[in-house]
């Protein structure tokens, strides 16, 4: 998945060879961190399930694990921001404009897909 993302950006932004090398380094660092974060969240979610699956659920520990999941998800968001900024800094002014458009479109699509999920809360439902 990561390599396709890099290939897509490289093509869309028309990166030269030097920019491609820089972007590849950013993508690899990003992928390594994201993999670590995903493993941590998966481990914690298993622990939460173990707490739920007991005859007397252990909500104290389940909530502690859930708090830790939140910390890892926050780290994930920060890593996404860090790597996005690193890619943007590789770009020339015209590429930055195109990159900003791509990121805005991606954000719109992600928000749209979440809003259209069954049972999703809509902004006016609060």
- 9 by Cβ neighbours in 10 Å (0-12 / 13-18 / 19+) ranks as buried
CA distance 103 to 52: 38
Q: Name which of 7, 13, 2 is nearest 91 in CA terms.
A: 13
- Tell whether the model's pLDDT for residue 105 goes beyond 60: yes
Residue 30 pLDDT grade (very low, low, confident, very high; cuts 50, 70, 90): very high
Instruction: Write down the pLDDT at residue 109.
Output: 78
Residue 126 pLDDT grade (very low, low, confident, very high; cuts 50, 70, 90): very low
Radius of gyration of the chain (CA): 19
Question: What is the model's pTM?
Answer: 0.74
Residue 3 pLDDT grade (very low, low, confident, very high; cuts 50, 70, 90): confident
Instruction: Write down the pLDDT at residue 118.
Output: 61
Q: Which CATH number fits domain 23-93: 1.10.10, 1.10.3470, 1.20.120, 3.30.70?
A: 1.20.120
């Amino acid at each position: 998945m990561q390599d396709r993302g890099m290939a897509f950006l490289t093509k869309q932004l028309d990166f030269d060879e030097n920019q491609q090398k820089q972007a590849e380094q950013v993508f690899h660092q990003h992928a390594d961190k994201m993999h670590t974060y995903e493993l941590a969240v998966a481990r914690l979610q298993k622990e939460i399930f173990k707490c739920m699956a007991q005859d007397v659920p252990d909500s104290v520990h389940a909530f502690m694990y859930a708090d830790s999941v939140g910390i890892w998800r926050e780290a994930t968001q920060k890593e996404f921001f860090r790597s996005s900024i690193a890619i943007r800094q590789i770009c020339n002014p015209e590429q930055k404009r195109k990159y900003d458009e791509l990121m805005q479109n991606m954000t719109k699509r992600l928000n749209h897909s979440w809003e259209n999920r069954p049972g999703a809360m809509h902004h006016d439902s609060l």
